[in-house]
Amino acid sequence: MTPGRLTQAFWILVAAVAIAFGIRAEVGVLVWGGYVLLGVLLVCGVLMRLGRPRLRVRRYLSATEIRLGGQTTATTEVSGRTVFPLSYSAQDMLSPQLGLRGERGLVWRSPGQGPWRYHYRLVGRERGYFALGPVRVSWRDYFGVGQRQEETGAVDHLTVYPKVLPVQKIRLLSNRPLGDVRARQQILEDPARMAGVRDYQRGDSLRRIHWKATAHRRRLQSKLYDPFSEVNVNLVLNLNAAEYPLVRAPHFAELAIVCAASLTSRIIDDRQAVGLISNGLDLREADGPAGQVADRVGEDPARRVTRLPVRRGHRHLAGILATLGRLQVRLTFPLWELLVQVHRHLAWTSSLVVITPSVDERAVGALMEYKRRGFVVAVILVGTGEEAREAQIRLAARRIAAHPVSKEDDLAIIGGAWARR
């Protein structure tokens, strides 16, 4: 029973007791007082039924995606008309994880005609995908006897990006013949970038001869060119809860997401292309149909893969950060199965960076298969303990670059560690 109905029942009981006691004691004032109270309750009940508002609620957000610690302004507009003499109030239902500045509701007295508006600011205090709404509308009579409420209006959502930390310049190798960074396999040379000179060899064209170096050394010298390539990085984020330490699973899962966000930002800043693959739960898919940002692979909801294609640019960065803001750890299929499932979607020229708390033998086998097919593979091991150390040893034995990350400060040296390798 709602508080309004409890109050109504209490006053009905008081009126009945007053009438009964007044009749028994032959006190007319009590009897008349009881009848008056019942009349007031009857009028208030009729007004509460007839005064149910027919309101339209709209909410406007200055931004639906914000960075951690950022703010957005919300404006809620309540439109309609209230005729009966009642008191009305509207209040937005918000997630407690969001910081609030201002009033998230208003009160008005009827009769009146809207629209009524109220404004407040939301602060992203932690990463996530938060619901805004619906609006709880309440109305009550002036005597405070009856009170009713209902929820109306659509539910909007606010995405808070994960934390982005600085990372050193990442020097991942690639197998693409032309582009912006040094390639592992010298398929073609970029004539726009000269690496040095060497002695002339039979068959060198005249265009290759470095005439100034030839005059200086008094023998024919030919130009050396660097093979350069464009890096296409696929970040594979493992959010299978079964592979995280039981005690600190939420902490290390959050660290893995921060790691993916920081690497994405660094790669985009270097004007390279990056994509995202994860077996985590996208909360937007859990609430309803997925949009165009994430490509869902597979029909079973428990086995869907979130995959964003390899692209470059800050608009693509915003899309990846928004997806990372919505992802949550869940019980799903393991890393090795994720690697096998998404292999057909990746070009052989891609670089693969796997972010995971552990690596078993089947996952190592899948990574070795990627290496045999020409992929550049690196692994970031998130967490501490024996499993992380064993995984690092297992990867080192297969000559797969691995870097442990147990705290946020370790992210700053990831790029330098790979560069030394």
In a domain, 178, yes or no: no
318 & 408 share domain: yes
248 & 214 share domain: no
Q: At residue 312, does pLDDT exceed 80? A: yes
Supply the CATH number for residue 344's domain. 3.40.50.410
Report, as an integer, the average pLDDT of 164-193: 57
CA angle 262, 264, 269 (to 5 degrees): 95
Under 8 Å CB-to-CB from 251, ≥6 apart: which residues?
A: none
The SS3 call for residue 218 is coil
Lowest average pLDDT, out of 115-124, 130-139, 359-368, 389-398, goes to 389-398
Q: At residue 189, does pLDDT exceed 90? A: no
Please report the pLDDT score of residue 420 as a whole number: 42
Q: At residue 183, does pLDDT exceed 70? A: no
Tokens 């007791």 correspond to what residue?
17
258 & 295 share domain: yes
Please report the pLDDT score of residue 389 as a whole number: 79
Q: At residue 184, does pLDDT exceed 70? A: no
What percent of the chain clears pLDDT 90, i.e. is strictly above it? 46
Is residue 137 within 8 Å of 88, Cβ to Cβ? yes
130 & 250 share domain: no
267 & 408 share domain: yes
How confident is residue 41, by pLDDT bands cut at 50, 70 and 90? Answer: confident
Cis bond before residue 115 (omega within 30° of 0): yes
In a domain, 174, yes or no: no
Please report the pLDDT score of residue 298 as a whole number: 44
CA angle 72, 77, 78 (to 5 degrees): 145
In a domain, 303, yes or no: yes
Of the candidates 198, 194, 252, which has an alpha carbon nearest to the alpha carbon of residue 227?
A: 194
135 & 271 share domain: no
Which has the higher per-residue pLDDT, 140 or 66?
66
Q: What is the mean pLDDT of the chain?
A: 83
CA angle 131, 132, 133 (to 5 degrees): 110
Under 8 Å CB-to-CB from 112, ≥6 apart: which residues?
A: 81, 82
Lowest average pLDDT, out of 71-75, 135-139, 239-243, 361-365, goes to 135-139
Is residue 282 within 8 Å of 319, Cβ to Cβ? no
Please report the pLDDT score of residue 421 as a whole number: 45
The SS3 call for residue 69 is coil
407 & 259 share domain: yes
Please report the pLDDT score of residue 240 as a whole number: 95
In a domain, 210, yes or no: yes
Orientation of helix 249-269 relative to helix 314-326, angle to 10°: 170
Report, as an integer, the average pLDDT of 311-338: 95
279 & 216 share domain: no
pTM greater than 0.85 (yes/no): no
> Domain ends where: 114, 134, 160?
160
Could you report how far apart the first and last alpha carbons of the chain are, in Å?
Answer: 68
265 & 130 share domain: no
Residue 332 to residue 354: CA distance in whole angstroms: 17
**C-alpha separations of 65 from 154, 314, 405 in Å:** 18, 14, 28
12 & 145 share domain: no
Q: Is the C-alpha dihedral spanning 164, 353, 306, 254 positive or negative?
A: negative
Which tokens in the block code for residue 411?
């992210």
How confident is residue 86, by pLDDT bands cut at 50, 70 and 90? Answer: confident
Please report the pLDDT score of residue 297 as a whole number: 46
Tens-place pLDDT, residues 363-415: 999 999 999 888 889 999 998 867 777 888 889 889 898 888 988 888 877 65
Residue 322 to residue 38: CA distance in whole angstroms: 57
Which has the higher per-residue pLDDT, 299 or 212?
212
Which alpha helices (DSSP H) does 51-86 contain, by range?
none
Which alpha helices (DSSP H) does 157-303 contain, by range?
211-217, 249-269, 283-287
> Domain ends where: 135, 160, 185?
160
Q: For 75, phi and psi rounded to 5 degrees?
A: -125, 120
The 3-state secondary structure of 96-118, one letter per residue: CCCEEEECCEEEEECCEECCEEE
What percent of the chain clears pLDDT 70, i.e. is strictly above it? 85
In a domain, 50, yes or no: no
Supply the CATH number for residue 126's domain. 2.60.40.740
In a domain, 189, yes or no: no
In a domain, 168, yes or no: no
How confident is residue 88, by pLDDT bands cut at 50, 70 and 90? Answer: confident
91 & 199 share domain: no
How confident is residue 353, by pLDDT bands cut at 50, 70 and 90? Answer: very high
Number of domains in the chain: 4
Residue 13: which domain range? 3-43
Report, as an integer, the average pLDDT of 93-120: 88
308 & 366 share domain: yes
In a domain, 352, yes or no: yes
